[in-house]
Amino acid sequence: MKAGVLYAPHDLRVEDRPDPQFGDDDVLVEVTYNGLCGTDATEYGKGPMMVPLNAPHPGSGHQGPTILGHEFIGTVVDAGANVRHRIGERIACGAGVSCGECAWCRAGRTNLCAHYYTLGLSTHGGLAEYAAAPSSICVRIPDSVPDIDAALAQPLAVGMHSVDRARIQPGDTVVLLGVGAIGTFICSALRGHDGPVIAMDIDQGRLEVASTLGATGTALISPDATATDLRDLVPGGIQVVFETSGVFGSAERALSMVDMGGNVVLVGLNKSPQPLNLADVVLREVNIQTTVAHVCGSDIPAALDLLDRVHLSEILPAHPIALADVVSDGFEPLVSGSANGKIVVDPRRG
């Protein structure tokens, strides 16, 4: 089969690989679409951060060149003996593999599994004609959800999980500090919230997308806006802030702009240590939440359910490209920031 294999930063090769091996609990999937996201761009452009090119991954045991792709859907073409999925079924893969037995798995927090690993990051994934995956992390796609929408299930599940972590109350005013890639999925996951959802970003185009996705208000902000500037934009007060930008200093702004007793969800990542005014956080009883990945068993079905009601691909245009063009039309535009909409790879195109 043809596969996109990461060898080193800026060295991704589309090459022939043996079809994946699969075990009794796995499905073999013919990949319909594999979405690319910022995580892939980071691995390709600045990595490896997560891909175990140089040392074995403790969860997967895999080491070396790796087939990327953690956002994939496809059709089951073969299956192990213990698998409940049928041949021909369309599935969305959650990509995160958990053991089912550790304390975190038993508590339902499978995204924190002690042995967690991710297809397409810690071992081979879906950027290929075929992928093998544990059937336990694959969810049947409802017949009424088109492939191009279902291709958004995994990143939308990440947004769903962020919203779950936020403990939003009815009527709360929610601010999205940044509506780039993950921010748009959080905005989508907030559909149905019965209070204001205000998107703030430095890019007018992103704000327009956020409005279409259901944000009730938008604000174009300057990169050096202070917390006071931002709070003044919402005179009624802010109960929940999602900090999605990961920009240095933005966590501090989020913590300062939220109301007393409010919740801040840290979503964006910045590896540099940064100062926080924790005395202010404590004295105002601000809750800091964090979120990572998604809980496959609940968030992927919830994402597919939402995609059944809202055809997100019409709002977040997904651009299918051929696997052969994945470097020139996928990774390079993502790394340079010139990509528009969501890039999905269709390996059936060659």
Applying CB under 5 A, the residues found at the interface with Zn ion are 37, 39, 71, 98-99, 102, 105, 113
Residue 36 vs 286, nearer CB to Zn ion: 36
Smallest distance, Å, CB 252 to Zn ion?
26
How far CA 178 is from CA of 15, 58, 217, 224, 288, in Å, comes to 37, 33, 13, 13, 17
Alpha carbons 324 and 148: distance in angstroms, whole number? 19
Smallest distance, Å, CB 106 to Zn ion?
8
Alpha carbons 271 and 50: distance in angstroms, whole number? 13
* Ramachandran angles phi, psi of 219, nearest 5°: -145, 125
Residue 95 vs 190, nearer CB to Zn ion: 95
Residue 99 vs 219, nearer CB to Zn ion: 99
HSE at residue 282, side-chain half, CA atoms within 13 A, is 4
Smallest distance, Å, CB 193 to Zn ion?
24
Closest CA to 184 of 203, 169, 194, 199: 199
Residue 105 vs 240, nearer CB to Zn ion: 105
Contacts of 102 (CB under 8 A, 6+ apart): 113, 114, 115
Q: Give the total residue count for the chain.
A: 350
Residue 66 vs 239, nearer CB to Zn ion: 66
Smallest distance, Å, CB 332 to Zn ion?
18
Smallest distance, Å, CB 98 to Zn ion?
5
